[in-house]
Amino acid sequence: MDDIVIVGGGIGGLTLGLSLHAAGIPCRIFESAAEIRAVGVGINLLPHATRELAGLGLEADLARVAIATQDATFFNRFGQLIYQEKLGRAAGYDHPQFSIHRGDLQMVLLEAFRARAGADRLLTNHHCVGVEQDEAGVSVHFSAGQGGAVNTIRGRAAIACDGINSAVRKQFFAGEGEPRYSGVNMWRGVTRWKPILSGASLIRAGWLSHGKMVIYPIRAAASDGLQLVNWVAEIETPVYRKRDWNRPGTVGDFIGAFADWHFDWLDVPALIRAADSVLEFPMVDQDPLPRWSFGRVTLLGDAAHPMVPRGSNGAGQAILDTRALTSALSGIEDPVAAFAAYENQRLEATTRVVLTNRTNPPDAILREVFQRTHDRPFASIDDVISRDELVALSEGYKQIAGYSKEALRV
């Protein structure tokens, strides 16, 4: 009864479980899947997120399975360099930026939680179907998988970390409707490939109307010298299917946009065709909510503020949520008041990130050059856009997202 009930065992839920356990706050995690497996493709952990994970004693474990990203490099669709900047420790941050397989990250978090809190503190095959509360606590109702028998777990409070299709969010915002489609569909894959550029580069190229690529390595080179490289192909697409992380994609549906991307530093269609598998995913978010907390129940991560994945920042914002929520629960005995304090700290900040991801994420650099050149090659990038403008676009997003060097010195 004294436990905090965490709904969802993804990145947000597991990080929260580790954070609460470290603070001496009892919790249990209930995951919908029958088994937590290393699924998905690549993500980036920005320095504000790695600082929090390092505080939980996880940096060395992450470093063993991730790439310490060294630079962000931007090209047009003709392979011409637009802008390059250093990242993570190479840029003078106290903490690294990691490019990592989502499944590897989840396994690091899972193994740490089970080792520290106990394997019995995480239960799978628990699909949340609703939550009720009274003055003494919460009753969270779970089915044994979709459509299974329902059982009820009592706890002191409940935190929904169950993603953009959160059952708890839908309970409190029943009329919200489906996620908002950005007009851009993406196809994602991983390919074993020789190191590209620095071998630790986060590459963005092209623009959405004609095809954009994001490419970065997520596992170190094996004995054959090949890294595991994550790539994302993004194209403005009027029609899409419901978001599903694991829906297979078809190369023929999108490779035409990249058929002539043969650069001296990369053969893009060859990279795509060499992928083990391809996943299709619409780029969606939801309009920011007016509140996350309802008495003894609150939302975290994608359940609270799903965002278009254009700033390498979704997981990072969930991790920042865990710090704020743990701090509130550590300092305020009443969970209702603690959740209100957490919401007060994080709601406005994440709203800014959600809205900025729609309009001016880091790849706005590509948009500016695309518009100014009318999608033509340039003789010199300095004739198109100044270095100061490029720096301002990049630094502006870091400030809004909370990982500027100034913000992290606080």
pLDDT in tens, 49-87: 999 999 999 999 999 999 999 999 999 999 999 999 999
Per-residue pLDDT tens for 23-48? 999 999 999 887 777 677 899 999 99
DSSP 288: P
Q: Which pLDDT score is estimated for 75? A: 98
Residue 401 · residue 241 · CB < 8 Å:
no
Cα distance between residue 406 and residue 93, in whole Å:
10
Percent of all residues in the chain with a pLDDT value above 70, rounded to a whole number: 97
Q: What number is the average pLDDT over the span 371-379?
A: 97
Task: With respect to residue 336, please indicate whether it lies within any of the assigned structural domains.
Answer: yes
Pick the closest to residue 397 from 347, 374, 351, 363 (CA basis).
363
List 68's β-bridge partners, or say none: 98
CA distance 112 to 64: 14
**C-alpha to C-alpha distance for 86 and 84, rounded to whole angstroms:** 7
- Domain annotation covers residue 63: no
Range list of H helices, 304-401 = 314-331, 335-359, 364-373, 387-401
What tokens were used for 233? 């192909």
Could you identify the residue written with the tokens 């900040």?
Answer: 349
Place of tokens 């829906």: 247
Q: Do residues 206 and 272 lie in contact, with contact meaning Cβ atoms separated by under 8 Å?
A: no
Distance CA(216)–CA(195), nearest Å, equals: 9
Position 243 scores a pLDDT of 52
pLDDT at 7 over 80: yes
Q: Is residue 198 part of a domain?
A: no
Query: Angle at Cα 404 formed by Cα 403 and Cα 410, nearest 5°?
Result: 85
Confidence grade of residue 201 (pLDDT, cut at 50, 70, 90): very high
Report d(CA 21, CA 113) in Å as an integer: 8
Share of the chain above pLDDT 90, in %: 77
Domain count, the chain: 1
The alpha carbons of the chain give a radius of gyration, in whole angstroms, of: 21
In a domain, 340, yes or no: yes
Domain contains 223:
no
Residue 341 included in any domain? yes
Nearest to 159 by CA among 370, 372, 286, 304: 304
Handedness of CA 86, 88, 90, 92 (dihedral sign): positive
CA distance 350 to 307: 9
Reference 44, options 218, 205, 166; nearest CA is 218
Give the pTM.
0.94
Question: What confidence tens digit (pLDDT) does each residue in 269-326 have?
Answer: 999 999 988 998 888 889 999 999 999 999 999 999 999 888 778 899 999 999 999 9
SS3 157: strand
Would residue 239 count as lying in a domain? Answer: no
Range of the domain at 296: 4-40+103-178+289-359
CATH number at residue 306: 3.50.50.60
Q: CB atoms < 10 A from the CB of 29, how many?
A: 29
Question: How many Å apart are CA 120 and CA 111, to the nearest integer?
Answer: 13
Classify residue 364 as exposed, middle or buried by CB count within 10 Å of its CB (0-12, 13-18, 19+). middle
Residue 79: inside a domain:
no
Q: CA–CA separation, 254 vs 386, rounded Å?
A: 33
What DSSP assignment string belongs to 195-213?
Answer: --TTTTEEEEEEETTTEEE
